[in-house]
């Protein structure tokens, strides 16, 4: 990339730079690398295999009789995270007004686990809290089983899109 878009001073070590275009989506800018090599075909395939064991884990934990809302509340940058109160309000609405099962998902860091516990405590109806209790493939199976995902700009938001689940992405200025 050019200096403005490069990370970690990478621009100092490149011989060829890909020119920036005004208001370009990140995927278009990434395709600039292949186009610089003369490859102009833009095929995006998100075919991540999910093992049967991971799907069995999801089936064991998530009921089939309700629509599923997955909330994955944390990203790697805390400024991107929405409020505990906001997530709890959405969870209660989904449970009370839409008769949905709410599932909390996330990594095993202390911050994520505490965030999930705080959300669960604020909810009128306790969500299924799987934060820190899944591996990546199990998380993917849960996201595939969900009807909708609410998440900040994070891995689970993008993984949800990859398995065809609708995602409400919460994007903050960072």
Q: Does residue 20 carry a pLDDT above 70?
A: yes
Q: What local confidence, expressed as pLDDT, does residue 90 receive? A: 98
Tokens representing residue 156 in the block: 């689970």
Characterize 90-120 residue by residue with b for buried, 16 or more Cβ atoms within 10 angstroms of its Cβ, and e for exposed. Answer: bbbebbeeeebbbbbbbbeeeebbebbebbb
Q: What local confidence, expressed as pLDDT, does residue 52 receive? A: 98
Query: Which residues share a beta bridge with 168?
Result: 150
Cβ–Cβ under 8 Å, residues 101 and 69: yes
**Strands 68-71 and 128-129, how do they pair?**
unpaired
Distance, in Å, from the CA atom of 74 to the CA atom of 143, rounded to the nearest integer, reads 15
| Domains of the chain (ranges, CATH numbers) | 1-44 (no CATH), 52-170 (3.40.50.2000)
Instruction: Report the SS3 class of residue 4.
Output: coil
Containing H/E element for 152? strand 148-152
Cβ–Cβ under 8 Å, residues 61 and 130: yes
Cβ–Cβ under 8 Å, residues 50 and 136: no
Q: Does residue 36 carry a pLDDT above 70?
A: yes
pLDDT tens by residue, 87-115? 999 999 999 999 999 999 999 999 999 99
Q: If you average pLDDT over residues 48-61, what whole number do you get? A: 96
């Amino acid at each position: 990339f050019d200096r403005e878009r490069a990370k970690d001073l990478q621009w100092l070590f490149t011989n060829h730079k890909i020119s920036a275009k005004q208001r370009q989506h990140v995927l278009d800018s990434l395709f600039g690398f292949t186009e610089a090599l003369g490859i102009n075909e833009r095929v995006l395939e998100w075919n991540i295999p999910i093992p049967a064991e991971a799907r069995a884990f999801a089936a064991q934990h998530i009921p089939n009789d309700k629509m599923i809302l997955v909330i994955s509340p944390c990203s790697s940058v805390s400024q991107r995270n929405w409020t505990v109160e906001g997530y709890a309000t959405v969870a209660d609405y989904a449970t009370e007004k839409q008769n949905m099962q709410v599932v909390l998902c996330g990594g095993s860091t202390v911050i994520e686990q505490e965030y999930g516990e705080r959300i669960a405590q604020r909810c009128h109806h306790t969500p299924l809290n799987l934060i820190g209790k899944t591996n990546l493939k199990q998380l993917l199976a849960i996201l595939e089983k969900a009807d909708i995902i609410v998440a900040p700009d994070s891995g689970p938001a993008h993984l949800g899109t990859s398995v065809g689940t609708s995602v409400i992405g919460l994007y903050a200025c960072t």
